Each structure stands twice: as structure tokens, then as C-alpha cells.
Amino acid sequence: MSTATLDTPIPAHPCAALPAADAASGDGLAAVRSAIAAHLVPKVVDVDLKAEYPEGFLRALGQAGGFRGAVEPAYGGNGLGMKHVVQVMEEVARECLSSAFLVWCQTACARYIQLSGNDWLKKQFLPSIAAGELLAGTGLSNTVKSCDTIEDYRLSARRVEGGYVINGVLPWVSNLGPSHVFTTGCPVVGEDGKLVFVLVDCAQAGFKLVDCAHFVGLDGTRTLACHFKESFVPDSMVLAHPSESEAYVKRIKPAMIHAQMGMGLGLIDACCKLMHQSNRTLAHVNQYLDDQVETIEAALAGARAAVYEIADELSEGAGSERTLDILKLRLAGGELSLRAANAAMLHQGAKGYLVRNPAQRRLREAYFIAIVTPATKHLRREIARIEGGHACSGM
């Protein structure tokens, strides 16, 4: 993205109408399912084994309205809110967790902009992000872990006339490319630890993407290192200045974590299907395994109901009063994902160990849900701290 592009005015976007198929189905997901079938299902193995970035699918999903739940109707959203965001992620995760994670990246970035006080940014970026025309990531993992005193901040900013200058390196930020944008936050020198949150243009001066990390799963997610060297971010790209950041964090944190449950719900459902598939011919043997499909499905149904209920609440408000519930649900989601993927693998047996069999992929994907920020150990620590009386004021 060039500076000229940034300066090009974009008219206020009217409320995006649902695709015709969705108007008929009522859940806003028919067009999403069609996009998954046409553009993702044929690519799943390449995304997993060849680290192919599913850009075509993301564009198609955007056209199908898959990102619009994260955005208000005035900026191109569909008015369906967080539940729609979770449900789209769930549909995608049934086929491919890499792509579901990219949906989370895109919608999380959209929501961070939506919940900022910067109307120019909303008008300039939300319509194109909601439509999948502009792809977006979120580099808040280090910010979250630093706020929770797990690690040091990797970026620092200093105030200059008209903006901030940022220095440092973020090792792993996903859904990036030369024409993408992403959000991040870091402390500002002289502001007593207070943070500034910004939207970064990957093409801006003083910023460089470095492609070096390779992972055993989700390697097709364009997860890159971000180098800031005296990189200037103008005030127009600021999501929250230091004086606003504490309140901003309270607005963005609950949904940021909660939306990740869409990945877990979809993956667990897919694991249940693998168990059912195996049981058609091997139920007489599988019955001796510790985790049976009926048990996992019952736990999944309970988790799904809880996730949808909180998602609807988040659409109505910030939800910071539900932080503990959200953390516990997110922890349970990661643990049930591991349990379901392990059970699917054991049900499939040696077949599940084949390179193209989804069972072993699901196992690698499940570990991602358990280790992506906030990871299992992070969640357990935060839950213990909150239950021990620690104020829940940080990320």
C-alpha cells in the first residue's frame, strides 16, 4: 500500500446487503459455505504441506461476506456481530485451521479498528477489510504477554511531531504481505508505561517483513518477522494514544480472546467426524478407547452454546465483566481440541499417520489452538491471578 493510496478518500460505506443465498438461509452462512467448498476444500492439503497461503480463498470469503460480522453496518458490516464472526471461523476450521486462524487475524484487526476512536481510520480501512480486498493481521501477542508480565515489550515508541517513531522486532505476526496492514501496541518513552496502539502499513518507510520461520503446522499463514527501524506512524494511523489505551484494551480484549473459540469449535467438530468415520467399520475396537465420540460431541455442544451466548453479549457491549468466563472457556476450548484430536488419531489408527490423512493434521492444528496467545499456560496463570484477587486491568 502506498501513501497515495492512504490519502485516497473512500466514501462512507452503506450497510452491506447479505448475499442472496444468505438471505434465503437466514444464518448468513450459505455464501460462506459455498466459498469454502469452491475455494478452500481443494487447497487444504497444499496449505498444510506446501505452506501455500490461501489468498484466493480469503478474497472469496470476503466477497461472500465472511468478515462483515466484525464491522458495524456504517462501515460495510452486516450487523450480525461476534456470533457471525465465530460461526464463520467455525465453518472454516471444519476444513482447515490455518485458514480459520487467518479469518481470526482479519476480523480481529477489523474489530480493533472498529473499537478505536479514529473515525478516519474506520472510513479509510474498514470497508476494504470487511470485503476482503485489504488483508490484515494483528501483532498484539507480545503486547498481551507483556501486559500480563510474561515477557518484555519488543517494540518501543517515542512521540514526535505528528506521530510516533517505532523501533524493535516482532518475531511472528500472521496474515502479512507487502500490501497488508496490521495492528500492534507498545509502550511510549516517557509515558510511564502507557501504550500506543497503531495500524501499521507493511509498505511504510522504516518497516521490513522478514520471512524465515517455518512451523510444523499452520505454515501457510504468512507468519513473518516485523522489523521496525525508526519507522514513523502518523497520528492518523493511531488506534489509541497513551491516555486512551487502558480503556481501549478493555474494549478489545474480551472479543479478541473469545473469537478464537471459533477455531476450536470447528476443529473439534471435524475430529468427531473422523471418529464417526472410523466407527463405521471399527466401532467394535474403538469402544475400548478412553474418549468416545459421544462424549466429545456432548462437550462440544455445551461449549458451542456457551460461546454463542457470550458472543451475543459481546456484540452488545465490551464484555470486560465476562473476562474470567471468557478465559475459562478459551482454556477449555484448547484442552478439548487436544483431547478431540488425540481421540480422532487413535480412532483412525495407522491410517491417521499417513501424510495426507487429516487426523495427523488435526493433531498439529489442535496444538496450535493450545499454544497461540493466549496459550494454555498463560490462560491458567491469568485465571489463577484473577481468582487470587489480582486486578483484571491489563490485557
Partner 1 sequence: MTTTVQTTQWICKVCNWVYDEALGDPEHGLPAGTAFADIPDDWYCPECGVTKADFEPLEF
Q: How far apart are CA 188 and CA 197, in angstroms?
A: 10
User: Peptide bond before 73: cis, by omega within 30 degrees of 0?
Assistant: no
Output 10 or 165, the one with its CB closest to partner 1.
Answer: 165
- Using CB under 8 A as the binding rule, whether residue 212 contacts partner 1 is answered as yes
Q: How far apart are CA 93 and CA 37, in angstroms?
A: 13
Query: Among residues 165, 169, 203, 375, which is the contact residue for partner 1, using CB under 8 A?
Result: 169
DSSP secondary structure of 1-47: --HHHHHS--PPBPPPPPPHHHHHHSSS-HHHHHHIIIIIGGGHHHH
- Using CB under 8 A as the binding rule, whether residue 224 contacts partner 1 is answered as yes
Size of site (CB under 8 A) for partner 1: 10
- Using CB under 8 A as the binding rule, whether residue 210 contacts partner 1 is answered as yes
- Using CB under 8 A as the binding rule, whether residue 225 contacts partner 1 is answered as yes
- Using CB under 8 A as the binding rule, whether residue 234 contacts partner 1 is answered as no
Query: Among residues 59, 159, 194, 227, which is the contact residue for partner 1, using CB under 8 A?
Result: 227
Extract the C-alpha cell encoding 159. Answer: 512521540
- Using CB under 8 A as the binding rule, whether residue 153 contacts partner 1 is answered as no
Q: What are phi and psi of 138, to 5 degrees?
A: -140, 120
Rounded to a whole number of angstroms, the minimum distance from the CB of residue 152 to partner 1 is 10
326-365 footprint of partner 1 as x/- string (CB under 8 A): ----------------------------------------
Rounded to a whole number of angstroms, the minimum distance from the CB of residue 228 to partner 1 is 11
Rounded to a whole number of angstroms, the minimum distance from the CB of residue 229 to partner 1 is 9
Instruction: Give yes or no for a contact between 271 and 296, defined as CB atoms under 8 angstroms apart.
Output: yes
Q: How far apart are CA 133 and CA 13, in angstroms?
A: 14
In sequence order, the 6+-apart residues with CB closer than 8 A to the CB of 108 are 70, 138, 183, 256, 259
Query: Among residues 213, 247, 298, 384, which is the contact residue for partner 1, using CB under 8 A?
Result: 213
Q: What are phi and psi of 71, to 5 degrees?
A: -125, 145
272 CB neighbour count, 10 Å cutoff: 19
- Using CB under 8 A as the binding rule, whether residue 167 contacts partner 1 is answered as no
Q: How far apart are CA 370 and CA 165, in angstroms?
A: 34
Rg (CA), the chain: 21
260-289 footprint of partner 1 as x/- string (CB under 8 A): ------------------------------
- Using CB under 8 A as the binding rule, whether residue 171 contacts partner 1 is answered as yes
Output 172 or 308, the one with its CB closest to partner 1.
Answer: 172
Rounded to a whole number of angstroms, the minimum distance from the CB of residue 156 to partner 1 is 13
| Listed residue (9, 16, 196, 243) closest to 119, CA to CA | 9
> Where on the chain is the footprint of partner 1 (CB under 8 A)?
154, 169, 171-172, 210, 212-213, 224-225, 227
